[in-house]
Structure 1
Amino acid sequence: MSLLVIGSTGTLGRQIVKKALNDGFQVKCLVRNFRKAAFLKEWGAELIYGDLTLTETIPVALHDITAIIDSSTTRINDLYNINEIDLKAKYILIEAAIKAKIKRYIFFSILNSYDYTNIPLVKLKLLIQKRLKKSKINYTIFNLSGFFQGIIPQYAVPILDDKSIWITNKLYSISYINTQDIAKVTIKSLSVTQFQKKILPLLGNESWNSFEIVELCEKISGKNAKITKIGINLLKLIRYITKFFQWTWNISERLSFIEILSKQSNYNISIKEILYILKIEPIEIESLEIYLSEYFEKIMTKLKEVKYEINNNNINQIDF
């Protein structure tokens, strides 16, 4: 089976490419910048020039492709162009896939997305999802919650840098999952007919709220966190104000994601049935504790090495 991965240089996309190559798939990556994607070629993937904003490049990229895995998303600094660019491009991609007789199409959306239809990016994903459901393509849509990788800049890095961690006054839990595990499930699902024309949740085995994550980071790193609380209503007010000025539109749209924090959602969805079908044991899905422990261990080891090198250099510079 030959795969075309879209969004292959992203946090999730690169893990999908790596897993697919390791499992023996022929992988092609649609990329805009060959230099930025050079590491994918080194792994063994074939790079194909394409840009979703240049729709004429899409059909050519589907030559000899069996399945499409779309892990791309709107660039955070371009949220106001999603209707003009991303939605149109994704529709054309789906139509091209139909004409090319693509056998599988995998798309990633957001868990409980129907609760957040006021968020432009979520609305975009729902429209794409609706188009896939109307098509005759054997699609699989995985609804995601949050990535382990997103926790690092939000919680771990501020603790290491002695900077404040900004936390809202709402304590709702999210079932974070490692992108490597998402990739594992995604690639295995390609050969499972039960997942065709299905929308499935894909999340971790345990839910965490902000304070629980902070406590975990403190325990593993041995450092105390500086916490700054901010109210949901204040964030909503800032979003309301920024909507009035074109130069602050992108700020407003980023703040729209606070709606996810201001609603209690059902994240207690089990993926045991999915794992059972894929013959993956729940224990194979990495826990947040293990992920953060490995991260802090690597960072602490690196810091010790740097400190050792600095001390040695200082000693060598002393004039005896």
Structure 2
Amino acid sequence: MNIKKVLVAGATGYLGQYVVKELKKRGFWVRVLIRNKAQKDKFKAVDDFYLGQLTSPNSIKGITKDIDWVFSSVGITRQKDGMTYMDVDYQANSNLLKEALKDKVEAFQYISAINGDKLKHLKIFEAKEKFVEELQDSEINYCVLRPNGFFSDMKDFLNMAKSGRVYLFGDGNFKLNPIHGEDLAKICVDKMEEGIKEETIGGIDIFTQNELAKIALKAWKKPIKISHLPDWTRRFTIWLLRTFTSSKTYGPIEFFLTAMADDNIANQYGTIRLEDFFKLEVNKLKNKKY
């Protein structure tokens, strides 16, 4: 059997690190893109490193040489280096795609987010979906996955719950099924192997926001105290941020607040439960004190 060679871009991020582990577990040959040599220390048993910046096309020439599959979860999560969403979520991935096409890479998997195709008016998705369209129009076999929120994103509920009360917009009945990065990484590799073009991916359990708040409060062993704010406060917050801050500041918050005002239910996968994740996180935080 011919072992596939996979390039992972975004490998130092939350999902990327799990994808690298999953690929190696299944016997793939893995090349990891890093921005500086110190990032090598994050990885064990990787076959090859490529030092470069996707935002600088000249620094990534040859990055996809001899590569069969490209995986990219490249995007801005925490704003830095003065880069915009268009610079990173769109242009950096576009630069990588050009190299992949030049080297006749077999397939390219890109990670967007749930409902990105319906929320192009948000800055973060304007850039992501511009790249999705470019990828779909290219001559490469593509796979676009749209995961729901990560368990790591749900720590916002946990952080609120620590104080003993969780604040929600509206009645708290909108539903979502977040997924753990480890579960998502397995699905990413599965879908690449299956040749799936597009799919939404979520966790095994569907929760209302009220249920999420309760789970977070229980993890801290707090009484259930949830305050419901009128929805106009959410809309007003988005307006304030758009008016008085740059997209670098408001982008992630705009996305979060918009997602809170609708159901976000993706196809259900995985085995890791949010309750268990919250308990582990609380134990970690408590142990840090001692």
* TM-score (ref. length: structure 1): 0.78
Contact 1:235 1:255 in 2 (8 A): no
Secondary structure of the structure 2 residue equivalent to 1:60:
coil
| Alpha-carbon distance in 2 for matches of 1:80, 1:303 | 33
For the aligned residue pairs, the C-alpha RMSD in angstroms reads 2.6
Residues 236/76 of structure 1: CA separation in 2 closer, same or farther (3 Å cut): farther
Secondary structure of the structure 2 residue equivalent to 1:114:
helix
* Correspondence for 1:190: 192
**Structure with the bigger percentage of helix:** 1
Q: Tell whether 2:236 aligns with 1:252.
A: no
* Deviation of 1:12 (Å): 0.4
| Alpha-carbon distance in 2 for matches of 1:266, 1:157 | 21
Among 39, 47, 52, the alignment partner of 1:50 is: 52
* Correspondence for 2:271: 285
Tell me the matched-pair count: 284
Q: Deviations over 1:191-211 (max 9, x none)?
A: 224x2xx11111112222322
Contact 1:103 1:137 in 2 (8 A): yes
* Correspondence for 1:174: 176
Matches within 5 A, 1:41-80: 42-77=44-79
Q: What residue identity is the alignment partner of 2:22?
A: K
Provide the identity percentage: 20
| Alpha-carbon distance in 2 for matches of 1:238, 1:299 | 30
| Alpha-carbon distance in 1 for matches of 2:223, 2:115 | 34
Residues 137/287 of structure 1: CA separation in 2 closer, same or farther (3 Å cut): same
| Alpha-carbon distance in 2 for matches of 1:295, 1:139 | 35
Residues 149/47 of structure 1: CA separation in 2 closer, same or farther (3 Å cut): same
Secondary structure of the structure 2 residue equivalent to 1:77:
coil
Residues 239/159 of structure 1: CA separation in 2 closer, same or farther (3 Å cut): closer
| Alpha-carbon distance in 2 for matches of 1:101, 1:155 | 44
Larger Rg: 1
Q: Deviations over 1:215-267 (max 9, x none)?
A: 1133343223665554442233233234344x5443333332222222x3462
* Correspondence for 1:151: 154
Residues 255/100 of structure 1: CA separation in 2 closer, same or farther (3 Å cut): same
Contact 1:69 1:107 in 2 (8 A): yes
Contact 1:175 1:203 in 2 (8 A): yes
Contact 2:89 2:131 in 1 (8 A): no
Matches within 5 A, 1:58-207: 58-77=60-79, 81-152=84-155, 154-160=156-162, 162=163, 165-171=166-172, 172-193=174-195, 195=196, 198-207=197-206
* TM-score (ref. length: structure 2): 0.86
Residues 226/29 of structure 1: CA separation in 2 closer, same or farther (3 Å cut): farther
* Deviation of 1:175 (Å): 1.0
* Correspondence for 1:10: 13
Residues 164/29 of structure 1: CA separation in 2 closer, same or farther (3 Å cut): farther
Secondary structure of the structure 1 residue equivalent to 2:146:
strand
Secondary structure of the structure 2 residue equivalent to 1:5:
strand
* Deviation of 1:67 (Å): 0.8
- Structure 2, unaligned stretches of length 5 or more? none
| Alpha-carbon distance in 2 for matches of 1:136, 1:6 | 20
Secondary structure of the structure 1 residue equivalent to 2:139:
coil
Contact 1:17 1:27 in 2 (8 A): yes
Q: Deviations over 1:54-113 (max 9, x none)?
A: 111223211221111001112432597222454222222212211111112111112122
* Deviation of 1:188 (Å): 2.5
Matches within 5 A, 1:253-272: 253-257=251-255, 258-262=257-261, 264-265=262-263, 267=265, 269-271=266-268
Residues 260/266 of structure 1: CA separation in 2 closer, same or farther (3 Å cut): closer
| Alpha-carbon distance in 2 for matches of 1:270, 1:227 | 28
- Structure 1, unaligned stretches of length 5 or more? 272-281, 307-320
* Deviation of 1:127 (Å): 1.2
| Alpha-carbon distance in 2 for matches of 1:225, 1:62 | 52
